[in-house]
Every structure is written in structure tokens, then in C-alpha cells.
Amino acid sequence: MPLCASLPHVLRRGLLALGLAFLSCTHAMTLDHIEPRSWWVGMTQPGLQLMLHGEGIGRLQARVSHPGVTLRGQQRLESPNYLVLDLEIAPDARPGDVPLELMDGTRRVLLHPYPLQARAPGSAQRQGFGPQDAIYLIVPDRFAQGRPAPAPAGMKEGERRHLPGGRHGGNLAGMRQHLDYIAGMGFTQIWPTPLTENDSPEYSYHGYASTDLYRIDPRFGSNEDFRAFVGEARAKGLGVIQDIVLNHIGAGHWWMRDLPTRDWLNQWPTYTETSHARLSVQDPYAADSDRRAFTDGWFTPNMPDLNQRQPVLATYLIQNSLWWIEYAGLSGIRTDTYSYSDKAFLARWSARLLEEYPRLTMVGEEWSPHPAVVAYWQRGKRNHDGYVSHMPSMMDFPLHEALLAALTEADGHATGFTRLYEALAHDFVYPDPARLVVFEGNHDTPRVIAALHEDLALYQMATAYLAMTRRIPQFFYGSEVLLSSPRERDDGAVRGDFPGGWAGDPVNAFTGEGLSPRQRAAQDWLRRLLNWRRHQAAIHEGRLVHYSPKDGAYVLFRQLGAQTLMLVLHKGERAGRLAIDRYPEMLRAGQRWHEVMSGRRGTLGQHLDLPARSAQIFELED
């Protein structure tokens, strides 16, 4: 392979390919990947690991000359096509292009100007999301198409909107076009399912099988489009939470054509799928083989399982998360299949992100009905095995399941509203229950209106509870207009297209055109509810008091200083009465009240009238 000793300096910015800037002479060695793609001066830790990939690159020696940047070492991996550089970036390093030279003996083979940038002001102190927020979960491919976007040349799957599991063509331009709608509904955070490249021949729309962890899928847009989307959302009061996957990649990832090391993946003699036995992580009696079957088994044959015990890969994954936060200006991270990864790595990953961004919020997915299992992963939990996690938040699947059961079961000593009461009573196992994310549904669950038997009154009860309880509420796109699905899992139906997201749609939920009266009522209800919630300090910071259910009613209070709010859920088919003396700590006769959703006002007597099958929220005056 011909080598090149030098090139004119004026050409340094002239050769750019796939976001990689490098210099070489004709027929010389090429640099196919360098990751992270860029970095910043002033990060908390000065160390930076660069992974270079190109044919035969492992035999070369690196050289760096830039003020404040030192090459501390380099390592070769099992594949001869990788070279890992360990750099140290001083706090006073000069931003600019860092010349990375690759040498074959005394000859320079390749010169790459590596971007070293200044951080945005206040980056380290960025504010994450919390109980003051309401999250809107979007599947980008199914939300809106801002402009027709045929698959770029070379992508394995194009738009096939007629197929439930095909790509439907939603993109970043569509989401950006409807930011005003999202903000107007009262949401303050947007969580899109993964946007990184998923170049699979089918079912590529969901994004959970990434084939390039540093590239936005071009069918959604570019990296620059994503950063612009986040910036415009921020200007409208909306934070953006990025969905990342630490546990696995897609089978089409470029690593799979040239694994850096044999232990880059969790390998088995024959294909071995995860057992999904997540409780084995906490089980004091679990066999090691059971734990390994859970964490090291593959999620699907098309989702190779990453081995986070591999030190180069572990650092790579940590830096990838840091890169997206800094590059795009994120307010948080949602981590898919959280507990399936190596738990020692997860502790290191979460600690490192919070070291860099102390106020950032990360939320992990732990799909378990058991509060003790979810609590194990939250920051501050004193665990039986000594495990220390740093995750500020987790998805509250136990409370989600209890809410649906509470609204669809007859009330009894262990059913109906009792389930909801007892689920919340388990908050003593959580170190910080207010930071958990609770939800009416997501991309993996049946649509909430289907789970609630298409009952609008139950939908209003569910959303009122989410808005009032001591959690961070999350809502799934389309729930506000009663998008439905089968009650059994059907991903294509659950992730249906948002009405009005495509030119020619007969119904437009963004404008209200063509919505049924029921859909309008549901949308108006949630809009009023969330816009009211945004300004209620008692919900964001106040204490919670609830009473055991009685006579088909469940009552919950939020209180902060002189502000008292009351939620009353009543499932009775007939109108009822709430006896005020049942709630002596919180209510007294003569208090004036304002019912938020209807606008009614009155004064408490001995009883409070309850309409049949109703959700009411009261502002109480001392």
C-alpha cells in the first residue's frame, strides 16, 4: 500500500467523507471511522479514548502535536484494523483541529485534523427533567413526515407505509414542524425512541438495533438536523431526552463485519437468547449460570449482546453517551433494557455521566412488577448485596400496572383501587420515589384506551392520577386523541401513525380537523390538565397524603405550604357522596373549593357530591 509522507496544509479541510476529515495521498491508507467524532476542552476528566478503524491501521504508530493535548498511550486490538489512542486534554488546551499523525516508521501515512471544541456556556450545569415536567414519548417514524424523505442510496429498507412493521416515513423535520403543538399540549420534555442509524432489512423503524452509534439515521435526518431540533425545542421550553441502548446493537452494525476483539460480544457455542429472568440479578439464591443467561443472552438473533466487561468497549459506550449529551444539548437520557447490561458497568456509566453533568436526569427501563426490583437500581438505595447505583430515575412499571388494574377491576380487599393504594404505599422501598417516571402506556404496551376498554371516563381518571401523583408523568403520542390497539401486544398497531402527520391524512389531530367528539374531549382534557399542572408547586414539590379506598372512591392530596390540592377518583356507576369527616387531617367544613377541570366552585359542607364515574381535582382554600 503506497504511503504518503506529507501533504500541503491548505488541503486539511478539503477532504471530508461521512463526517470524517482525513488527509492521505491517492491509494494511501484510509481512515474509515474515528470515534468519538469530536470532543471538548474542559470536560471533568481529561482522558479521551479514540478508536480508529481502517484497513491495517493497527500496525501504525500515532503522533500528536497540539497545545494541551498529550498522547498517553496506544493499544492494538485483536483485529489489525483498529488502533486505540489514549489522549489527555488539559483544561487550558486550545480548541481547534488537533493533528493526529499516523506513522509507518518515519513515514507519515495519514494526517487527520481531529475537532477539539469549546463547550457551550453552562453545559456542565444543564438542568435535567423532574417532577415539574411532563414527558411526551414519540416513535419518530410514526409521528409526522415534515417532507417526503425517500431512503438514501444504500439503505436496506425504504418507506413502506402500508406495512404495520415497515417504515412509514416520519422524520425529524416532522417532529420539528409540530413543536408548537407539543408545547401547547402542556408537555415540557420530548422523548423520541432511538434516532441513530438502524440499517436493517426490515423492522428498522423502531431504532433499537443501532448500526452506527454516532450517526442519526439519514431517513430521519442528519446529526445537524437533530441538534437543530433540540435547539428549537429548547427555545420553546421543551427539553429532549435521548433514548440509548447500552445492552445490544443491530446485526448490521459495522463492527459485525470486523469485530475489534473476540470478547466484544457475549458469545455462546450456539445462539442463546436472554432468559429475561431479571430477578436473578437481585435473587440472593440465584445460580451464576442463571444470572449469566439473563445478562449475556442475546435479546434477539438480530440484536447482538455487547460485553460491557470489555474495557475498551465500556469506555466507548460511556463516551458515546457523553458525546450525544454535549453535542446535541440534551436534558436527559432514557436507557433501554437497563438491567440486561453488566451491572458493574452500569454503576460506572451512571457515575461518569453525573460527574460530568450533576443535574442531568437518566431514567432506566426495568420492566418488573416488583417495586423492590425497580428500587434496586435507583441512586441512594442501600442494597442487600452492597451494589451502588447512581441512576436518578427508573421507569415505574409497578405503578403503571397497578393503575390499569385499579381502573378495570371491581374493588375489593386486594383488587381495584386497593391495588393502586398499596402500590403507592410501597414508596418506602424507593430512595426517591418522586423522581420515578410513571406512564399510561408506551411503545411496548397496549394503548391505554384499549387497556381501559375504550372507556373515556377511565381515561380521564388515569390521566388525572398521572398528573397528580408523586412522580414524573409520561404520555405516549396519540393517547391524547385515543389512538387504540389490540389489548394483546401488537407493536405495529400500538405504534400507529399520528393522525395528520402525513399529507392527505383525512384526520388531523394537530389542528383538530376530523376528530370525533370523543377524541376532541380527550385531547382538550389532557391539554387543560397538563397546562394547569405546569404551575402547581404542590405537585412538583409538595407532600402526598392518600386514604385507603372506600365506597368506590380513592382520594389523594398534594400539599405545600398553604396550597392543598385534592384528587377524587370515583368509579361508581351512580352519583355518590364523599363524607368530609373521613379526611380529618386534610378537610374541614366551610373550606372553599374550585374544581379545576370543570371550573365549578363551592364550599365544603358535611359531604362532597361525586358525579358517577368521574375524576375531579380540587383547589382548596384555607
Kindly report, residue by residue over 377-418, the tens digit of the pLDDT: 999 999 999 999 999 999 999 999 999 999 999 999 999 999
pLDDT in tens, 306-340: 999 999 999 999 999 999 999 999 999 999 999 99
Which residues are 557's β-sheet partners? Answer: 545, 566
Q: How many CB atoms lie within 10 A of CB 434?
A: 17
Are the C-beta atoms of residues 597 and 529 closer than 8 Å to each other? yes
Q: Mean pLDDT throughout 5-22?
A: 35
What is the percent of the chain with per-residue pLDDT over 90, rounded to a whole number?
94
Q: What's the CATH number of domain 133-244+455-535, 3.20.20.80, 3.40.50.970, 3.40.50.720, 3.40.50.80?
A: 3.20.20.80
Q: Which residues pair with 393 in a beta bridge?
A: 363
Domains 9-119 and 543-621 share a fold: yes
Reported as half-sphere exposure (CB side, CA atoms, 13 A), residue 179 has a value of: 19
Q: Is 557 helix (H, G, I), strand (E, B) or coil?
A: strand
What pLDDT score does 18 carry? Answer: 33
CATH architecture of 9-119: Sandwich (2.60)
**Which pLDDT band holds residue 576 (cuts at 50, 70, 90)?**
very high
Average pLDDT over residues 209-218: 97
What's the pLDDT score for residue 622?
Answer: 76
Separation between Cα atoms, residue 17 and residue 600, nearest integer Å:
63
The verdict on whether 513 is a catalytic residue reads no
Q: Cβ distance 84 to 50 under 8 Å?
A: yes
pLDDT tens digits, 235-286: 999 999 999 999 999 999 999 999 999 999 999 999 999 999 999 999 999 9
Looking at residues 458-467, what average pLDDT do you find? 98
CA dihedral 399, 400, 404, 405 (to 10 degrees): -40
pLDDT digits 0-9 by tens, 103-116: 999 999 999 999 99
User: Domain ranges in the chain?
Assistant: 9-119, 133-244+455-535, 543-621
Q: At residue 190, what are phi and psi to the nearest 5 degrees?
A: -115, 130
> Looking at 217, 326, 342, 365, which residue is catalytic?
365
Taking Cα atoms as reference points, which of 437, 406, 379 lies closest to residue 549? 406
Model pLDDT, residue 7: 35
Examine the pLDDT at 476 and tell me if it is beyond 50: yes
Q: Which of 35, 159, 243, 336 is catalytic?
A: 336
CATH class of 543-621: mainly beta
Reported as a single tens digit per residue, the pLDDT across 524-544 is: 999 999 999 999 999 999 999
222-234 tens-digit pLDDT:
999 999 999 999 9
pLDDT of residue 241: 98
Residue 71 scores a pLDDT above 90: yes
The pLDDT tens digits for 152-166 are: 788 999 999 999 999
| pLDDT in the model for residue 30 | 87
Does 151 score more than 90 pLDDT?
no
Would you say residue 12 has pLDDT above 70? no
Question: Would the CA dihedral through 603, 608, 610, 611 be positive or negative?
Answer: negative
Residues 96, 99: Cα–Cα separation, whole Å: 9
Is 290 a catalytic site residue? Answer: no
Q: Is 25's pLDDT higher than 80?
A: no
Res 360 pLDDT > 80: yes
Distance CA 402, CA 404 (A): 6
Using CA atoms in the order 376, 549, 440, 473, what is the torsion angle rounded to 10 degrees? Answer: -70
pTM of the model: 0.94
Q: pLDDT at position 28, please?
A: 63
